[in-house]
Amino acid sequence: MGTKGREIVGMDVDHVVELLNRAFADEWLAYYQYWLGAKIVAGPMKEAVITELMEHAADELRHADMVSNRIIQLGGTPVTTPKRWFDLTNCGYDEPSDPFVRAIIEQNIKGEQCAISVYHALIGEVGFKDPVTYNMAVQILQDEVEHEEDLQGMLEDLTVMLKR
The contact set with Fe ion (CB under 5 A) reads 27, 60, 63, 144, 147
Strand partners, 9: none
C-alpha to C-alpha distance for 62 and 54, rounded to whole angstroms:
12
Binding mask 101-130 for Mg ion (x = CB under 5 A): ------------------------------
Alpha carbon distance, N-terminus to C-terminus of the chain: 58
Which position's Cβ is nearest Mg ion?
150
> Among residues 59 and 94, whose Cβ is nearest to Mg ion?
59
Binding mask 126-155 for Mg ion (x = CB under 5 A): ------------------------x-----
C-alpha to C-alpha distance for 2 and 60, rounded to whole angstroms:
27
> Among residues 142 and 162, whose Cβ is nearest to Fe ion?
142
C-alpha to C-alpha distance for 25 and 8, rounded to whole angstroms:
26
